[in-house]
Structure formats: C-alpha cells, structure tokens
C-alpha cells in the first residue's frame, strides 16, 4: 500500500495544496465529455454520442497519432467566443482546486480556423477567461501553438492573423504530429515570433523517430527557452548538461506519457531532476488522460518513490521554467517553501 497519510508526498490533499505552475496544458485537451455534449447541443452539432459513457468509449488510443485522431474531431463543438470562454473557465476552476497559481496554457488556433471559426472567437474567448481566472486565484497566460502537420505557410498566416491580438498571448509553441515535421520546418515563423517579443517553446514528443535530433535542433537552431516533453534528451548526457547550464525548462506529463507510449517515463524525469534541470510536472490533455496536474504529481511520486523534497523541487521548477519575471518566481518559490514547512 502506498503511504497516502496527510504528510506523505503522495497524499492527494498535500499535492492539491502545493503551489505550482502548469506549463504544459492544451486548453482543447480540457474538453470534458459533459461539456462536449452541452456544447454540441448548444450549437446543434451531432457528434454521434449522447451520453458521457458513449463519449468516453471513443477514447481509445495508444500513440500520439491515434490520440490526435480522437482529439481533433471533438473540437467541432467549439464555435462561438462564449464556447471558448466556457471551456477555459472550466479548466481554470479545476486548476485552482489543484493548487495551480500560474498557468501558461496552449491553444491551437488552426484547429478552429481550418473549420471556419474566426480567430478572434478563439483568442478573445480564451483571453476573457484568462482575465477572469484572477478571481479564482489563478494568474493565466496563453501560448499560441502552430500545428506542425500543417504547412509552414499556414503557420505564418496564423501568426499574421494573430498579431493584431498580440497583447492576449505571451509566446508561441508547436504541437500535433511530430513525425516528418521537424522543428526546422518552422524556423522562420519562430524567428518572426521572437522579433515580436514572444517567448518560444516547442513540443519534442516522447520516443519519436529522430527525437534526439529534434531536441538538438530546438536547442541549437530554434533557440527555445523550454521544451515540452523532451525527456529523450537523457540519451545524450552532453546535451543534458548544456540544457542545465542554459536553464532550459522541460514540461513533462507523466500520465499522458503512459497513454501515448508504454511507459510514464518516470526514470527519465527523475534523471533530469537529479541532473538539476528545470523539469516540472503537467497534465497535457487532462480530459482525455483522466488526470489533472495534482494527479500527475501523485502518479510520478508513487512510481518513482519521490520524497517531499523532490516534490518541492518539482513545484519550484515549475516556476523557474515559467516566463514570469524573476521577482514573481522568487515569491512563488517562497510560497512552496512556506507550504512545505507548514505541512
């Protein structure tokens, strides 16, 4: 039996109260079955299922590609600015209950504009929810992600369409199917984003063909500030040392890993932790993988036998890997220490 007494690092109450940042969270991946059904009804869309159980029965995936094949069609229910607001607000409420005080959340405009939804519905709905999240005690910011299985031209058009709303997002990212879509394909659009003062991150998904080459490329060619997933870097200790020296963040997602590969990748995450990397724990697409961020901490603690000190380090790393100003990082890290001291 795992020790889940209140003072143990695996206690759900302890982990939910721990102040933390969430840096790898796709807002579209927070679409719970009940909200999916409600939005389908609101918008008069037949999604082929009418109960939560029927929706859940479609959640069959064992790889990134099979997950994405379930994930994108579900987004049809998102149409109006209010739909995007409602989706993000439901997530921010769950985040607040999980001890998240700061979130830098991904969104995928092309998954919506490609269906004819105006980009302003997406950005303004999510942004209004992010503003209102302050009342929940959550400081929320947005990261615009390009879909890497769309063309580089489509990414450039998306950035151009989004720049009039520049004040609503803090950075850009890259997600969707990595196979055959290396970081270099997007070098130009990321350079344009940087020139517009945006922060840069990219997914390097788990166990992809050429994972380590893509990780090297995002560090050397694109020059990102952090990597989403990225745990295959442990295959190259010199690259790990470089990432540690540069303060690169790694936004890992243990439960997601166990769905799209055969393993949580706990050993790799712990290796990065022990090497001193800014590795942190996140939920990725919690409505699909069944675990919000505190449950991801719990899964990792149990699998890897982590101590309270390890958990505190992971939480502090989540702030160090964030795009907050240094004084805010220090404030939040002090809140982690105070929480641990009082636990």
CA distance 123 to 118: 9
108 touches Zn ion by CB under 5 A? no
Number of residues counted as binding ligand HPA (CB under 6 A)? 10
Please list the helix, strand and coil fractions of the chain in percent, rounded to the nearest 5, in that order: 55, 15, 30
Q: Which of residues 161-190 bind ligand HPA (CB under 6 A)?
A: 175-176
For residue 60, give the 3-state DSSP assignment: coil
One of 147, 284, 300, 336 touching Zn ion (CB under 5 A): 284
Q: Interface with ligand HPA includes 265 (CB under 6 A)?
A: no
Which residue is closest to ligand HPA by CB? 175
Q: Looking only at residues 188 through 227 of this chain, which bind ligand HPA when binding is defined by CB under 6 A? A: 203, 205
Position 139 contacts ligand HPA (CB under 6 A): no
231 binds, among Zn ion, ligand HPA, none (CB under 5 to 8 A by kind): none
User: At its nearest, how many Å lie between ligand HPA and the CB of residue 207?
Assistant: 12
Residue 102: both structure tokens together: 């700061």
Question: In angstroms, what is the minimal distance from the CB of 144 to ligand HPA?
Answer: 13
Tell me: does residue 178 bind Zn ion (CB under 5 A): no
What is the Cα–Cα distance from 316 to 333, expressed in whole angstroms?
Answer: 5
CB 106 to ligand HPA: min, Å: 7
Nearest residue (beta carbon) to Zn ion = 284
Identity of the residue, 212 or 343, whose beta carbon is nearer to ligand HPA in the bound complex: 212
Nearer to ligand HPA, 11 or 256 (CB): 256
Number of other CB atoms surrounding residue 343 within 10 Å: 16
Q: Which of 253, 315, 303 is nearest to 278 (CA)?
A: 315
329 lines the binding site for ligand HPA (CB under 6 A)? no
Q: Which does 205 bind (CB under 5 to 8 A by kind): ligand HPA, Zn ion, none?
A: ligand HPA
Burial degree of 275 (CB within 10 A; 0-12, 13-18, 19+) = middle
Residues 105, 125: contact at Cβ < 8 Å? no
DSSP code for 27:
G
Query: What is the spatial distance between Cα 288 and Cα 154, in angstroms, rounded to a whole number?
Result: 27
Tell me how far, at minimum, the Cβ of 57 lies from ligand HPA, in Å: 21
Using CA atoms, how far apart are residues 4 and 302, in angstroms rounded to an integer? Answer: 10
């Amino acid at each position: 039996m795992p020790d889940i007494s209140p003072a143990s690092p695996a206690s759900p109450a302890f982990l939910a109260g721990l102040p933390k940042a969430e840096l790898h969270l796709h807002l579209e991946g927070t679409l719970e079955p009940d909200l999916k059904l409600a939005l389908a009804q609101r918008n008069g869309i037949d999604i082929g299922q009418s109960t939560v159980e029927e929706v859940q029965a479609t959640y069959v995936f064992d790889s990134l590609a099979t997950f994405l094949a379930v994930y994108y069609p579900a987004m049809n229910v998102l149409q109006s600015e209010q739909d995007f607001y409602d989706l993000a607000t439901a997530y921010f409420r769950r985040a607040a209950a999980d001890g998240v005080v700061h979130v830098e959340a991904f969104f995928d405009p092309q998954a919506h504009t490609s269906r004819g939804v105006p980009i302003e519905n997406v950005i303004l709905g999510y942004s209004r929810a992010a503003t209102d999240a302050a009342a929940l005690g959550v400081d929320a910011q947005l990261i615009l992600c390009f879909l890497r299985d769309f063309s580089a031209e489509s990414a450039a058009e998306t950035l151009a369409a989004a720049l009039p709303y520049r004040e609503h997002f803090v950075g850009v990212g890259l997600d969707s199917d990595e196979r055959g879509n290396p970081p270099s394909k997007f070098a130009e659009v990321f350079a344009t984003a940087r020139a517009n003062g945006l922060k840069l991150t990219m997914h390097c998904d788990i166990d992809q063909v050429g994972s380590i080459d893509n990780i090297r490329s995002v560090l050397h060619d694109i020059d990102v500030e952090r990597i989403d997933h990225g745990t295959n870097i442990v295959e190259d200790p010199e690259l790990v040392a470089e990432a540690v020296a540069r303060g690169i963040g790694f936004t890992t997602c243990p439960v997601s890993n166990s769905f799209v590969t055969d393993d949580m990748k706990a050993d790799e995450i712990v290796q990065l932790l022990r090497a001193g990397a800014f590795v942190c724990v996140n939920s990725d697409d919690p409505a699909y993988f069944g675990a919000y961020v505190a449950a991801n901490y719990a899964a990792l603690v149990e699998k890897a036998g982590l101590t309270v000190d390890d958990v505190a380090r992971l939480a502090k790393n989540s702030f160090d890997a964030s795009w907050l100003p240094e004084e805010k990082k220090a404030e939040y890290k002090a809140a982690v220490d105070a929480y641990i001291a009082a636990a």
